[in-house]
């Protein structure tokens, strides 16, 4: 099962990063988004990030030009149907992901592998809404994709070994490391990371510490490169809340109950860096804690 072409659904932060690393690794990439402006922004971000890699001697200027030449973009989802591998990187809402796969299915080649970059949603359940559950996997990249070395590979109950091996080879071609995870809510990374972030929000909610002291404590006391509240802003508070809800609903344990303060920030539209306000306010020259 040789993979030469990759379709990426969604041109946001994760999608443009996935398109970037796939193109650098030599795959032909078709990047899809419904929004033409999103596609234009994504190509500009990819260009900028490739420039950064050239300046750091990670790739050459010729590599950059060749990588950009391998990426095409389209607003028509069905045009991805002839790709060997499709990576869905749309928003973390199951109904949207399901609709994407249902739309794609009639246009796929028989051997096309379908994958989702979901950080928490059941791979088995997503796969069941397609005509090829045996050729469906979780392909979870870390953010920012060009920098982070890990990819979680998640097998659904029906995923066959040939599909797993094909995806594992792609990860190796990207120069990244695969961690194999079973299909349980939030898999490995977010099963551990999100409850820590949620507990940091509870620590803030209960007045144990303020934003600065909590983040400073974990950076200097636990040697974390980024404090948990700063990291939540980077990930997106809506994404954090969605994953905590998946954990809470899927495992039925009260220890995964989302903190009410996290829900309140999301209700306010303070989602972190992408909206310029979250646990920090990013509208000035330097981030300022909001609590």
Q: Specify binding-site residues for NAD(+).
A: 10-15, 33, 92, 97, 119, 143, 274
Cβ proximity of 194 and 187 under 8 Å: no
Q: Which of 119, 120, 122, 198 is catalytic?
A: 119
The residue annotated as part of the active site, out of 116, 152, 198, 230, is 152
**Beta-carbon neighbour count of residue 143 at 10 Å?**
16
From the list 5, 49, 190, 198, the catalytic residue is: 190
Catalytic residue (one of 49, 122, 140, 198): 140
119 is catalytic: yes
Tell me whether residue 224 is one of the annotated catalytic residues. no
User: Annotated binding site, which residues?
Assistant: 10-15, 33, 92, 97, 119, 143, 274
Determine whether 140 is an active site residue.
yes
Catalytic residues: 119, 140, 152, 190
């Amino acid at each position: 099962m040789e993979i030469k072409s990759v379709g990426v659904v969604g041109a946001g932060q994760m999608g443009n990063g996935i398109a970037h690393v796939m193109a650098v690794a030599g795959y032909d990439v078709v990047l899809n988004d419904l929004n033409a402006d999103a596609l234009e922004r994504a190509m500009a971000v990819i260009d900028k990030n490739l420039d950064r890699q050239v300046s750091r001697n990670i790739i050459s200027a010729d590599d950059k030009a060749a990588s950009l030449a391998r990426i095409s973009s389209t607003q028509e989802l069905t045009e991805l149907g002839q790709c060997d591998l499709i990576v869905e990187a749309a928003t973390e809402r199951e109904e949207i992901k399901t609709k994407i796969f249902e739309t794609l299915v009639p246009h796929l080649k028989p051997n096309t592998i379908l994958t989702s970059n979901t950080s928490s949603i059941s791979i088995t359940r997503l796969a069941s809404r397609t005509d090829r559950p045996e050729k469906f996997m979780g392909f979870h990249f870390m953010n920012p994709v060009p920098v982070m070395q890990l990819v979680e590979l998640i097998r659904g109950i029906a995923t066959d070994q040939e599909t797993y091996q094909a995806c594992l080879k792609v990860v190796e071609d990207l120069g990244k490391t695969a961690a194999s995870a079973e299909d349980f809510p939030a898999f490995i990374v977010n099963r551990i990371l999100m409850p820590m972030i949620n507990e940091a929000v509870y620590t803030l909610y209960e007045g144990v510490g303020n934003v600065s002291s909590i983040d400073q404590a974990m950076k200097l006391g636990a040697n974390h490169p980024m404090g948990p509240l700063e990291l939540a802003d980077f990930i997106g508070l809506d994404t954090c809340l969605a994953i905590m809800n998946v954990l809470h609903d899927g495992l039925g344990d009260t220890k995964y109950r989302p903190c009410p303060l996290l829900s309140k920030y999301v209700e306010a539209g303070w989602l972190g860096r992408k909206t310029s306000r979250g646990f920090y306010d990013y509208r000035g020259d330097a981030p300022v804690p909001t609590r």
